[in-house]
Amino acid sequence: MPARHSRVVGGSGAGRLLNCPASMQEILRLPHAIETTSEYAEKGTHLHDVSAMLMTARMRNPKTDLKKLAASYIGREIYDRVFTQDSLDSCIEPALDHLTELERIYGGKFKVVGVETEVRFPGIPGAFGTGDVFLQSPKYLLMPDWKYGAGVPVFAFYVEDAADGTRMELVNPQLLYYITAAYATPATRAFFEGREIVGAIIQPLTDDPLTHTKITVQELYDFAEDLENAIIEAFEPKPHREKGEWCRFAPCKLTCPFWVGALLDLSMIQPVQRPKQVVTKIATPYGDYLARAKTLIDVMTIFKSEIDNQMHVYLEDGGYIPGWKLKLKRVNRQWVDIGVVAKALKKLGFKREEIVQEKLVTFSSADATAKRLGVVIPDQLRVAPTTTETTVVSEGDPAPAIDRAKAMADVRAALKKLQESGS
């Protein structure tokens, strides 16, 4: 069963509310906006359910071989889709390994004491959430949060520069929300007694699949107070409004003036003709124009995605949007049972190689097999093809910049040297 989420404020919206209290009323004005979903979210729910089944089995019998149990789920429909070998290899088994490592870091001797447990946030009526799993040892209460997305990395904590020049470590607001709620809920409060608190994010499909941090009780009290104050401000005549990273999954973008304003900016931007002279490394009106246009287009891409999502939900609910309607998605045909197909095609004169084709397994599947066998796959078996293609990224991207003019000059110099040596 998928976890229920609070319409008032939940873990995923806590960071947004703290930074932009105005977003609360904006979202409440959108009918069913909070219930919009995506294919990625649905897959995440599917894998959360698999994880919950495994943790429940471990809670009942700590000696359960979880990887073996997970493998037995292959082919079984869980939530809304069939559990596959690829999901086992790329998501579930790595997540279990990271959980084992997390427990080792904090001394081991953990037992599962709660799975998919509903918790109530203090001081805010109607605010609740669901804790993925609670693990308890004699010294620690551990709350990992499963994340199965690959696009946006999520961390247990973030480091920011303070006004005085020092660096601060800030706990992920979503993690704080669930832990604060669990600490305040009578049914789960006993889990914490006499123990240090550790929050963690386990996200197997990212470069940093395991992040964790200790959290003090005072941090929980401070967070509860901050969120309660944000709720109070949200209902004031002119609550604070701010655009930032927290807007990424916020459905209120389609009515927010900071986002809608990009439409006006885009319509008013004045095109600048590319100069005829050779490009330079200094700022020019044309370069400034491209920078501004790119920023606005990126905003509009996100805005379009949100509009499309809201239109779909509104039409599904029976609403009317002039000029638009729903239609059934086109679904590609697929073969029926492989045995039936193979037998029928063979009767038609097909050879075996014309019926079944061999295909290499995915990297994640091969890595999982290598791990089970205790072997290492040679690096030379997996190579990245060389490329001269480039892509545009912001200056904040850690990759080194490619100086195309210098690269072309190097190529011309090499060709010239080759020609001179051959003459």
> Rounded to whole angstroms, how far apart are CA atoms 265 and 263?
5
What pLDDT shows up at residue 33? 45
Strands 196-202 and 210-215, bridge-based pairing? antiparallel
> Rounded to whole angstroms, how far apart are CA atoms 141 and 220?
14
Reported for 151-160, long-range contacts at CB under 8 A and 24+ positions apart, including other chains, are 151/40, 152/248, 153/203, 153/206, 153/207, 153/208, 154/201, 154/203, 154/206, 155/201, 155/208, 155/211, 156/199, 156/200, 156/201, 156/211, 156/212, 156/213, 157/211, 157/213
Phi, psi of 242 (to 5 degrees): -150, 140
Using the Cα atoms of residue 295, residue 300, residue 302 and residue 303 in order, give the sign of their dihedral.
positive
Task: Give me the architecture of the 11-234 domain, per CATH.
Answer: Alpha-Beta Complex (3.90)
What pLDDT shows up at residue 320? 87
What pLDDT shows up at residue 317? 79
> Rounded to whole angstroms, how far apart are CA atoms 243 and 26?
13
What pLDDT shows up at residue 34? 44
Strands 140-146 and 196-202, bridge-based pairing? parallel
What residue spans define the domains of the chain? 11-234, 256-316
**In tens digits, what is the pLDDT along the chain, a chain of 423 residues?**
455 555 567 788 888 899 899 888 888 777 654 455 566 778 889 999 999 999 999 999 999 999 999 999 999 999 888 999 989 999 999 999 999 999 999 999 999 999 999 999 998 888 889 999 999 999 999 999 999 987 788 899 988 776 677 777 889 999 999 999 999 999 999 999 999 999 999 999 988 899 999 999 999 999 999 999 998 898 898 899 988 888 877 888 777 888 777 666 655 666 666 666 556 677 777 777 778 778 777 777 777 777 787 788 788 878 888 888 888 777 778 888 888 888 999 999 998 888 887 777 777 777 777 877 888 888 888 877 766 666 766 766 667 776 666 666 665 676 677 667 655
> Rounded to whole angstroms, how far apart are CA atoms 365 and 363?
5
